[in-house]
Amino acid sequence: MKKINIFFYLIIIIICFFINSSERIYYNSDIFFDIGNLLEIEFLKDGELYLKNNNDIIKKIEIELAHRDTEKRNGLKYRTLLKENRGMLFILTNQEEYRQINMRDVRIPLDIVYINQLDTVVFVNKYVSPMKDIDTINLPSTIKYILEINAGMSDKWRIKEGLTKITWFLK
């Protein structure tokens, strides 16, 4: 009688395992999509950045740095909000890194400001749509920093190619 009870319980456990496994497989294709929709990454202030035209400060913003590979790869992905006076500053270690930055999984439109080794803005890509690849074919190869800010802020703050310079400090 004990052998029958053990065998019965073993069959129940196996059936439960297969039922749970099939449910996992059924939902598996949507799990990352669901997690991505629920994920919200908090802004972490690493420092402050000053935008200057002719040595006059035109704007001071809080920045989050992206200097490690994972930070550069993730950037502003999965964020639904970036306050007006904030941005992400990518610190590039080689001239090809800026070509790897993209808008996949970025949910907010951005202005992308490219800055050279002399801390001068060389190009502004305005109103870049979320979830799209970025065209970086015509950019100069001397880019040292990339500043991502909310779409429209480069016009509002009067950021000018060849004129606007940056200075930034860690907190």
Do 55 and 95 fall into the same domain? yes
Do 72 and 107 fall into the same domain? yes
Domain span at residue 30 reads 1-38
Written in H, E and C, the secondary structure of 31-74 is HHHHHHHHCCCCCCCCEEEEEEECCEEEEEEEEEEECCHHHHHH
What total of structural domains would you count in the chain? 2
Taking residues 121-149, what's their average pLDDT? 84
CATH code where residue 145 lies: 2.60.120.1140
Tens digit of pLDDT for each residue in 66-83?
999 888 888 898 888 999
Do 132 and 58 fall into the same domain? yes
Do 73 and 157 fall into the same domain? yes
Tens digit of pLDDT for each residue in 28-43?
444 444 455 566 788 9
